[in-house]
A and B are shown apart, each in its own frame.
Chain A
Amino acid sequence: MRLVVDVSHLLDRFRLEVAFEAGDGMTALLGESGAGKTSLLNVIAGLVRPDRGRVVLDGDVLTDTGAGRFVPPHQRRIGYVFQESRLFPHLTVRQNLGFGRWFTRGVAANGPVPADIVGLLDLEALLPRHPSKLSGGEQRRVALGRALLAHPRLLLLDEPLGSVDVARRQEILPYLDRLIAELKLPMIYVTHDEREIEGRASRVVRVRQGMKVG
């Protein structure tokens, strides 16, 4: 996997001007909250069209403002685990998990969920429930599973441990480690806390006020 990002986009308080490359394994985007990390993920996912710039994934030009090219998010096959879980409130956990599979592979959304993902994220007991009945950590795990089951080429994780209190981090962290070890899915991990990525990230991109600083 090779992701090339070079964008310039005006945000509320400053201009986001970042160029970086990411390869296999985990690439960490590290910076204070409000540094523009989430905006960067939105640009990569295609949820935001940058003022200028390019996003290229494995030679596939997803955004190129110069050439007027823009692949809409639903055709990018880039998984995104948002800071808030953004689960579908009207669907059960099983249907939430099946959502992406149905659109990317035509598998019935209500069908059995692959056992490896259920096992990896420990979702079995949650399947028949509605998202509103889950704890914050459980919602994160479902959101993670939902993104994985859409078979993305790249996974974007926005503060997957943010707004989960320290005691509850153990509900997610071990699962993330298993994910990195077993699925070998390239991912971009956004965080403000260096400790989360120590020993996990193979590459760190530091962002401050919309600029890459290391």
Chain B
Amino acid sequence: MTGWSAADVAVVLLSLKVALAGTIVSLPFAMAVAAVLARGRFWGRGILNALVHLPLVLPPVVTGYLLLRVFGRQGAVGEWLEAWFGVTFAFRWTGAAIAAAVMGFPLMVRAIRLAIENVDHRVEEAAATLGASPLWTLAVVTMPMALPGILSGMVLAFAKALGEFGATITFVSNIPGETQTLALAIYSFIQTPGGDASAIRLVWLSVAISFAALLASEALAHRLDRRRR
């Protein structure tokens, strides 16, 4: 083992970029869906819940294929986005971020929803008597109180995004420098004769990154918790 090659560094940076973008893009949607699932009472709630969890149980290849059909060049949304905004997802790192976002979405929604359900509803009632509308209450009481859960949801989604393989390779392929994230690079190295050393370096690295992310989220949640106790 002789230190890191420029290619290794590029793979890591790309993976972090994809995972971070996926996490940030999905955050507002995850918060909205989690709030609706936690506090909403409406017909079809169960269906929405099942839909959100679908990427967790579907074969990732299926999710990737569906993404290709929807966000690909000829896809319903993909074509429209390219025509109007010049944004392309197919075979681009942005597509990898979308795949990461979709695959991490159920984990993020789940964590945020649980955190919201744990917020004392009576405190939200107090906010209402002080003049805060339901939406304002959500923004300044419920979500801040659920912050540790939101952070842990983000970390989970981020970790999932770093390890995402099936949906990514199906949707945006395995293009070095563009869509080849950590997991895909490790896969490629294992398939290449003599690539073992590189594969092992990346394997250790991905273990280290995931571990650090989990430790960081624990520490963050702990600190937030202590400030309020």
Which positions in A face B, CB cutoff 8 Å? 45-47, 72-80, 82, 84, 86-90, 99-100, 103-104, 130, 132, 146-147, 150
| Per-residue contact bits, chain B 214-229, to A (CB 8 Å; 1 contact, 0 not) | 0000000000000111
Closest to A131 in B: B228
Please indicate the chain A residues that have their CB under 8 angstroms from the CB of B125 in the complex.
47, 73, 82, 86
Number of interface residues of B (CB under 8 A): 22
CB <8 Å contact, B126 and A132: no
Closest to A104 in B: B131
Q: Once the chains are docked, how many angstroms separate the CA of A45 from the CA of B123?
A: 14
With A100-B131, A147-B129, A150-B130 in contact, is A84–B229 under 8 Å at CB? Answer: no
CB <8 Å contact, B141 and A103: no
CB <8 Å contact, A90 and B145: yes
Of B128, B134, B145, B229, which one neighbours A47 at CB under 8 angstroms?
A: B128
Of A74, A90, A104, A147, which one neighbours B128 at CB under 8 angstroms?
A: A74
CB <8 Å contact, B136 and A86: no
Please indicate the chain A residues that have their CB under 8 angstroms from the CB of B127 in the complex.
74, 88, 99
Q: Answer whether residue B59 sits at the interface, using C-beta atoms and an 8 A cutoff.
A: no
CB <8 Å contact, A132 and B132: no
Shortest CB-to-CB span from A76 to chain B, Å, is 8
CB <8 Å contact, B145 and A74: no
Shortest CB-to-CB span from B66 to chain A, Å, is 39
CB <8 Å contact, A77 and B131: yes
Closest to B132 in A: A103
Please indicate the chain B residues that have their CB under 8 angstroms from the CB of A130 in the complex.
227-228
Shortest CB-to-CB span from B228 to chain A, Å, is 5
- Residue contacts A-B, CB under 8 angstroms, 6 given: A74-B129, A74-B134, A74-B137, A82-B122, A103-B136, A104-B130
CB <8 Å contact, B126 and A82: yes
Q: Once the chains are docked, how many angstroms separate the CA of A147 from the CA of B136?
A: 17
Q: Answer whether residue B118 sits at the interface, using C-beta atoms and an 8 A cutoff.
A: no
Shortest CB-to-CB span from A20 to chain B, Å, is 21
With A84-B122, A86-B123, A132-B229 in contact, is A78–B129 under 8 Å at CB? Answer: yes
Which positions in B face A, CB cutoff 8 Å? 120, 122-123, 125-134, 136-137, 141, 144-145, 147, 227-229
Q: Once the chains are docked, how many angstroms separate the CA of A82 from the CA of B128?
A: 13
User: Which 6 A/B pairs are nearest by Cβ-Cβ distance?
Assistant: A103-B131, A100-B130, A86-B126, A73-B128, A80-B129, A104-B131
Please indicate the chain A residues that have their CB under 8 angstroms from the CB of B120 in the complex.
86
Shortest CB-to-CB span from A177 to chain B, Å, is 23
Q: Once the chains are docked, how many angstroms separate the CA of A73 from the CA of B131?
A: 7
Please indicate the chain A residues that have their CB under 8 angstroms from the CB of B145 in the complex.
88-90
Please indicate the chain A residues that have their CB under 8 angstroms from the CB of B126 in the complex.
80, 82, 86-88
Q: Once the chains are docked, how many angstroms separate the CA of A165 from the CA of B122?
A: 23
Please indicate the chain A residues that have their CB under 8 angstroms from the CB of B122 in the complex.
82, 84, 86
CB <8 Å contact, A88 and B131: no
Q: Once the chains are docked, how many angstroms separate the CA of A73 from the CA of B136?
A: 13
Please indicate the chain B residues that have their CB under 8 angstroms from the CB of A132 in the complex.
228-229
CB <8 Å contact, B133 and A88: no
Q: Once the chains are docked, how many angstroms separate the CA of A45 from the CA of B132?
A: 13
Q: Once the chains are docked, how many angstroms separate the CA of A70 from the CA of B59?
A: 48
Query: Apart from A45-B129, A47-B128, A130-B227, what 15 extra A-B contacts exist at CB < 8 Å?
Result: A72-B134, A74-B128, A74-B129, A75-B131, A80-B126, A82-B122, A82-B125, A87-B123, A88-B127, A89-B123, A89-B145, A100-B131, A103-B132, A104-B130, A130-B228
Most chain A CB neighbours (cut-off 10 Å) among B128, B145, B229:
B128
Closest to B143 in A: A90
Please indicate the chain B residues that have their CB under 8 angstroms from the CB of A88 in the complex.
123, 126-127, 141, 145
Shortest CB-to-CB span from A186 to chain B, Å, is 16
Please indicate the chain A residues that have their CB under 8 angstroms from the CB of B130 in the complex.
74, 79, 99-100, 103-104, 146-147, 150
Q: Once the chains are docked, how many angstroms separate the CA of A52 from the CA of B224?
A: 44
Closest to A103 in B: B131
With A86-B122, A90-B144 in contact, is A79–B228 under 8 Å at CB? Answer: no
